[in-house]
Amino acid sequence: MESAVLDFESDYFTLFKLQEGVYAAIAKDHSITGANAGFFDLGEFVILFDTMTAPKATQDLIRGAQFCCSKEIKFVINSHFHGDHVYGNHAISPSIPIISSFDTVKMMKEYTLENLQKYQKESRKEIKRLDTLLKTETDSSRLFEINNDLDFYLTISHHGFNLRFPDFIFQKELFIQGSKSSVQIIDVGSAHSVSDIIAYLPDDEICFMGDLLFENVDSSWLEKKSVMPFAVNPKNHLKVLKQYSEKNLKYAVPGHGKLSPSQIIFKTNIEFLRLKYPDAFS
Residue 220 is predicted with a pLDDT of 80
Nearest CA among 44, 18, 27 for reference residue 261: 18
Task: Using 70 as the pLDDT threshold, list the residues of the chain that sit under it.
Answer: 1-2, 30-33, 226-228
- pTM of the full structure: 0.92
Q: What is the 3-state secondary structure (H, E, C) of 150-165?
A: HHHHHHHCCCCCCCCC
CA 7 to chain centroid, in Å, comes to: 22
Q: Which positions ≥6 away from 90 have C-beta within 8 Å? A: 55, 58, 161, 162, 163, 164
| Contact assessment for residue 66 and residue 45, using Cβ atoms and an 8 Å cutoff | no
- Classify burial at 205, counting beta carbons within 10 Å of its beta carbon; exposed 0-12, middle 13-18, buried 19 or more: middle
Helices assigned H by DSSP within the chain: 55-69, 83-86, 102-107, 113-136, 140-156, 234-245, 262-276
- What is the three-class DSSP state of 85? helix
pLDDT at 1: 55
pLDDT score for 11 = 86
Q: What is the pLDDT of residue 78?
A: 98
CATH classification (class only), 4-103+164-281: alpha beta
